[in-house]
Structure 1
Amino acid sequence: MDIFVKVFLVSTSLLWLKAPFTHAASETDTSRLRKDLLTGYDKNSRPVQNHRDTTRVKVNFILKGLDLDERKSIFNMHAWTVLVWEDGHMKWDPKSYGNITRVHFSAHELWQPDLTVYNNADKSEIDHFGNTRLIVYNSSHVVWVPPTKFQVPCQTDLRKWPYDQQTCSINVGSWAHDGTTLDILIPSNISTMDVTDFRPNREWDLISNTFEKRTKYFAEVPYPDIVLKLNLARKSSSHTACVVIPGLAIAAAILIAFWLPPGSSERLSILLVTILINVLYLYYVYSAIPNNGDSVPLVLLFYRDSLFMLAFALVWTVCLRYLAATKRDSPVPLPSFITGFLASFPAKILCLDPRPTTGRRENTGSEGNEQGDGAANGNPNPFGSGVEKNNPFQDDWAWLAHLLDRVAFMVYLIIYMIFYLALL
């Protein structure tokens, strides 16, 4: 037993004696290259040998997604920003470092262009670019492709809602440098962002996008920036189903009511129910559409004006019932020019039914005999009012009311057609 204990102690002592002489892991070519490149490097200074030299940054965008908040008038764009510039301190001979031609650096280890959004709407976010790694090539070129979120105000014009199109702009440029120290370059043969991996939005379709370089001069000093413009169109299928089509049904209900005789109870019922439905949809559209200042959406104007027209149609119906069915104690003939127009061809087309011409008769004092005479003469009251007719000109007044009703029908039809042409 003692022999085994002694052997164990001796072997443990030998291992302990060898431990201090174990060699540390050898330094790799990559770590040696990184150490040499970062020695004496100042990430807060522009990477040029002469301060008069201009740093040129090539910029491109790969669009990934977008979103537009109408109520807040805020537009969000998600993209990958491709930035390429030349860093004069990042240059080496690959043969001295195991033929390494490129090396990675963490975010903010090297100098980065101070690009920012001039019309930024995110007050809490100044750094718009994600902290991704940079790729440095032995030719001194630095490539940085950070994920980017731009949030800018976008004033929406909802007048054509839900068939509206919106244009949102983003201005990107250097915050501290002018064009003589940091110049922005864009690809000469490209004027639109790459949308190969674009994720469609459920509310908006991307119609077009452009980006261009713009240079402004202040005291003869150039200040370049990039202007991104995105044109969006609303996906209106669901809004058409729940807002526009009911408006068409309301218009059809009003026209059907005008086709009914003013004396019928169904006409008043249709108008009253349609007024209630119109009020509900007017409130719904007002709640669904954000407040847009002086530019009132046409669909909201449609339901507002339709409510006025319904109210006028209700008053019109009451007036026509009085005109056509009120019993007059003394004969009141129509003016000659109205009588002449009633006998004209356009009046016959508008009134559709044959004009009554045999309804002028004396009052017998018996309602039953009068109704029998009317049936025998083939001249029923076109309004169905059931009022005893002791006026020989009563049929003329009833037919005038019938003509006015047809004229109102044509006027309402034309107005609603104009409404829908303007809306669509």
Structure 2
Amino acid sequence: MTVVLSISSLAFCMAIIRSGYCIVDINGKSVDNNEAAVELTRSRITTEKRLRSYLFEHYDRKVRPSGNKTDTVSVYVSMMLLHIEGINEQRQVLRVHTWTSFRWNDVRLVWDSSEYANITTLHTADEELWLPDITLYNNAEGKDIHNFGSTTIMVQSNGDVVWVPPASFSAQCNMNFDTWPRDKHRCHLLLGSWTQHGFDLDIQLDDAEAGIDTRNFVQNDQWLLTNVSATRTQVFYPCCVEPYVSVSFTLQLRRNPSHYFHTLVLPVIILLIASWFLFIIPDYRFRLLVGLLEILALSGESIFLYSVAPPSTGTPPIVRLVAFSIGFVLYALVLCMILDAVRRCSKPLPKWIQATFNPKMGFILLLPSTSTAPEQFSENRGKDGDKEFLTVDFERENNPQQELTGNDIALQRSWKIFTDILSRICLLHYAIGSTILIIFLW
């Protein structure tokens, strides 16, 4: 007789047929499905209780899982990096979140799965089993060395134990902020046994080539992860013959400088380039006002920089950039004061400057007509003498009682042209110097 199962009966029976609890009649209908499921669950619970009683009745979690006291327990460690919370720059502490995997074999947790309903895997709480006393050596949290969270442990029938607790590490790092905000750091998570040497507890890397698993890593906006690696170290001390084993997970970090570029560097560059116009502005008083305002703005940048910059043994480039920028603007103001004094000079200009220097340099620097021969000027020039009459008017505003002759106008114009040439030369060397400053300090 052919037995035909309905779809719903087939789905249920396939789930429990291995245990022998699927009962069907010749018409294809399942019999006592609920009772079979309940019976299966009770049997599973009873079997697992019997297994736990067998494993943990005489189990002591304080004793190492070795056949005898001379055997070495090998613990294989790996790490999955989840997130870099950040760096406390004042304390030089790196804060990261991980999953840390530990794998070892406990000979006391071996059972024959055929005697326990083919149960090959058992899940139990971590406080019930022996755990390796591995901790973070370079822990920055003082007395609190318990970095691993409480979670369930998976035990295989051959005695293999897998423990993957979540862990948050606060690691002390040796950091150098001399290149801030373009600094790079190498931080180590140094893990090892707190009390046991290498003959009792041998720590091995589960996958030395992979280093740290970053498949589920979530990037930090401020810190970029550039490289990861893992190494195992075995150290012998003069006091002891036993080796002391540790594993180091290394993170190479680079700060993302874009935020600081827009809030610190770019304003300084703009102010420094704006100071070029101090050599073009014609009014001396306006030059002085603009220069003082730029110095005040740069001083405000330096105060803000002091509030955000981490402490360092050296001077970061951005600090030198702000300081040198203030010095450059002061230097530009001093040059402008000297140029204004030269422009107001009343002594005759040397003839070689009038005849040779002014025309040639004025042509090279693309200045207007630089001819300053005295005979070209008179008090009544007409339209061609507009510029000279403007000079006369300006001087009369300062000296209303003074009447200027044609030679006086020629003298003033020659000094003015000479000062304009010097201003252009100062502008060129100041622009080159400030550009070099920006390139080399940033």
TM-score range, shorter chain: 0.7 to 0.9
How do 1:223-242 residues align onto structure 2 when only pairs under 5 Å count? Answer: 223-242=244-263
Task: For residue 196 of structure 1, report the CA deviation from its aligned partner.
Answer: 1.6
Residue 249 of structure 1 and its aligned partner are, at CA, apart by: 1.4
- Separation in 1 of the partners of 2:235 and 2:213? 26
Question: Which residue identity does 1:134 align to in structure 2?
Answer: I
Which consecutive residues of structure 1, in runs of 5 or more, have no partner in the other structure?
Answer: 1-24, 364-368
AA at the equivalent of 1:166: H
Q: What is the CA–CA distance in structure 2 between the aligned matches of 1:380 and 1:210, rounded to whole Å? A: 77
| Mapped partners of 1:97, 1:384: distance in 2 | 115
Shift of 1:85: 0.6
Shift of 1:392: 6.7
Identity %: 28
Say if 1:129 and 1:147, in contact at 8 Å, map to a contact too: yes
Picking from 240, 243, 261, the partner of 2:264 is 243
**Residue type of the partner of 1:295?**
G
**1:284 lines up with 2:301 in the alignment:** no
Instruction: Give the structure 2 partner of residue 327 of structure 1.
Output: 346
Equivalent positions of 1:62-211 (< 5 A) are: 62-66=80-84, 67-188=86-207, 190-211=209-230
CA-based RMSD of the aligned residues comes to: 3.1
Distance 2:299 2:391 in 1: 30
Residues 155-214 of structure 1: CA deviation (Å, up to 9, x unaligned): 443343333333222211111122222111114562331112112223222222222212
Deviations 1:341-360 (A, max 9, x none): 83696x44663215623243
Distance 1:240 1:395, change over 3 A: same
Aligned match of 1:10:
none
Deviation per CA, 1:95-142, whole angstroms, max 9, x where unpaired?
122211111221221111111111110114211111112111111111
Aligned partner of 2:71 among 53, 61, 64 = 53
> Which of 39-48 and 265-274 deviates more?
265-274
Within-5 A mapping of 1:279-358: 279-290=299-310, 292-328=311-347, 331=348, 333=350, 342=357, 347-348=361-362, 351-354=365-368, 356-358=370-372
Amino acid at match of 1:275: I
Question: Across the two proteins, how many residue pairs are aligned to each other?
Answer: 387
Query: 1:409 corresponds to which letter in structure 2?
Result: L
* Equivalent residues of 1:358, 1:379 under 8 A apart: no
How much has 1:374 moved relative to structure 2? 9.8
Letter in 1 for 2:81: L
Distance 2:134 2:157 in 1: 25
For 2:392 and 2:320, the matched residues in 1 are separated by: 37
Q: Deviation digits for residues 271-305 of structure 1, max 9, x if unmatched?
A: 12212211111211221222x23222222221111
Amino acid at match of 1:283: I
Question: 293, 298, 311: which one pairs with 1:273?
Answer: 293
SS at match of 1:260: coil
TM-score (norm 2): 0.78
- Change in 2 beyond 3 A, CA 1:265/1:373: farther
Distance between the aligned counterparts of 1:384 and 1:247, measured in 2? 40
Name the residue aligned to 1:21: none
Decide whether aligned partners of structure 1 residues 375 and 191 sit closer, same or farther in structure 2, where only a CA change above 3 A counts: farther
Which stretch shifts more, 251-260 or 72-81?
Answer: 251-260
- In structure 1, how many angstroms separate the alpha carbons of the residues matched to 2:330 and 2:392? 23
The verdict on how the C-alpha distance between 1:162 and 1:57 changes in structure 2, with shifts beyond 3 A counting, is same
Q: 1:178 to 1:404 in 2, by over 3 A?
A: farther
Tell me the distance in 2 between the aligned counterparts of 1:128 and 1:285: 35
Native 8 Å contact 1:358 1:377 kept in 2: no
Shift of 1:241: 2.2
SS in 2 for 1:281: helix
CA distance in 1, matches of 2:291, 2:393: 19
CA deviations on 1:355-396 (whole Å, 9 max, x unpaired) are 623243699xxxxx64x4597468759999944563976555
Q: Deviations over 1:74-95 (max 9, x none)?
A: 2111000011011111111111
- Superposition TM-score, scaled by structure 1 size: 0.81
Q: What is the CA–CA distance in structure 1 between the aligned matches of 2:211 and 2:235, rounded to whole Å?
A: 22
Q: Distance in 2 between matches of 1:382 and 1:413?
A: 31
Cα gap change, 1:240/1:406 in structure 2, threshold over 3 Å: closer, same or farther?
same
**Pairing partner for 2:57 from 39, 59, 65:** 39
Amino acid at match of 1:234: R
Deviates more, 1:161-170 or 1:208-217: 161-170
Task: Tell me, yes or no, if structure 1 residue 360 matches structure 2 residue 360.
Answer: no
Supply the AA of the counterpart residue of 2:257: S
Question: 1:173 and 1:189, CA in 2 relative to 1: closer, same or farther beyond 3 A?
Answer: closer
